[in-house]
Structure formats: structure tokens, C-alpha cells
Amino acid sequence: MYTNSRPYIFVIAILLTLFGIYNYVVYNTNGYVAAEKLSPLAVKGQQLFQNNRCWSCHQLYGLGGYLGPDLTNVYSNENKGPLYIKAFLNSSVKSMPQFNFLEEEKDALVQYLKQVDETGIYPNYDAEIEATGWVKLKYRNEK
Ligand code: HEC
């Protein structure tokens, strides 16, 4: 039986091209991802944050333990900030244990919380759903 496979190849070529374009657009749209690269000091702070189980009592972006408050924006909170964070690290309060951190370890933790803070706002009520289905959030480092 004679079959002409050329039209099918043509259709597949078109589909592949569209697929390629689609992927290009999806992966090259800056989207709404406020990606932030942690500085080496912040990475050290992140390790301290994990190794000392801050997660067990604290949340970032609402995720974590619930004994203590969310720390996403503690750095930029006008009544709090770096010295306030260090004060909590120096002294034990309520159920937060005392940590005997070195000054540079406290600096690292503060730097980590600073960079976390720069990524966004939690809770973020400033969101709108766009026609494309993307949810557009207002980011802290958005100009
Ligand atoms: C066993 C639970 C627990 C652990 C572990 C813990 N915390 Fe806390 N933390 C608390 C509680 C409870 C408070 C609230 C105390 C208060 O308001 O009097 C708090 C408060 C804080 C605050 C002040 C937050 C604010 O908005 O007022 C900071 C900053 C903080 N903790 C950082 C840390 C860091 C960093 C770590 C890890 C090195 C850590 N905590 C580990 C329980 C904990």
C-alpha cells in the first residue's frame, strides 16, 4: 500500500517548532521569580540556621515550626532589624534557648535573614491572578 509520509513529517516539524518556541518563551521569561543568590556569609548563616534547628520553632514564608514567630521580614521590620535579631541570639527568651554564637556567626545569621527578607514579603496579600494564570506578587526588591 502506498502511503505518503511527507505531510506527517511536515506536521511533526511544525509541532516540534511550536514546542521549541513555547519552551524558549517559558524558560526565558523573567517571570515573577525574584531569585536571589546567597552571599558566602549568608550561606554560612543558612547552615547555622539549619544546624541549630531554628526551623523547629520558626518559619520562613510561613513554613517551619510554630513555637516562635515567622522570621521572613524580621530584618526590615522598622521596630526590629539586625541588632534586635542579635539580642535574641544573645539571650534566651521564653522558650527560645540561648545560643553561644560567636560574633561572626551572629553576623552570618543576620546576613542570611537579611537576604531572605530581600526576596519578598510574608504574608503577601498583594497578589493578583493574571489572564495567563500566573499569580503576580509584589516583591520587595521590585523597583
Ligand atoms: C525552641 C524554640 C526556638 C528555637 C530553636 C529558636 N527560637 Fe527564636 N524564638 C523562639 C520564640 C518562642 C521566640 C519569641 C520570643 C518572644 O517574643 O519573647 C523567638 C524569637 C526569635 C526572634 C525575634 C523574632 C521577632 O519577630 O520578634 C528571632 C530573630 C529569633 N527568635 C531567631 C532565632 C534563630 C536565628 C534561631 C536559631 C539559631 C532560633 N531563633 C531558634 C523560639 C525558638
Amino acid identity, residue 65?
G
Q: Is the pLDDT of residue 94 over 60?
A: yes
In whole angstroms, give the CA distance from residue 106 to residue 65: 21
In contact, 115 and 76? CB cutoff 8 Å: no
73 confidence band (pLDDT: 50, 70, 90): very high
- Which DSSP letter does residue 96 get? B
Ligand 1 atom 21: the closest Cα is on which residue?
Answer: 88
In this structure, the residues whose C-beta lies within 6 A of any atom of ligand 1 are: 49, 52-54, 56-58, 67-69, 71, 74, 80, 85, 88-89, 93-97, 99, 109
In whole angstroms, give the CA distance from residue 82 to residue 62: 20
CATH of 40-119, one of 3.30.470.20, 3.20.20.10, 3.90.470.10, 1.10.760.10: 1.10.760.10
In contact, 71 and 116? CB cutoff 8 Å: yes
Q: How confident is the model at residue 41, as a pLDDT? A: 97
Read off the pTM.
0.78
Amino acid identity, residue 84?
Y
- CA torsion sign for 58, 67, 78, 104 is negative
Q: How confident is the model at residue 111, as a pLDDT? A: 97
Q: Is the pLDDT of residue 78 over 80?
A: yes
Pocket mutation for ligand 1, best pick of 88, 92, 98, 115 (most atoms within 8 Å of C-beta): 88
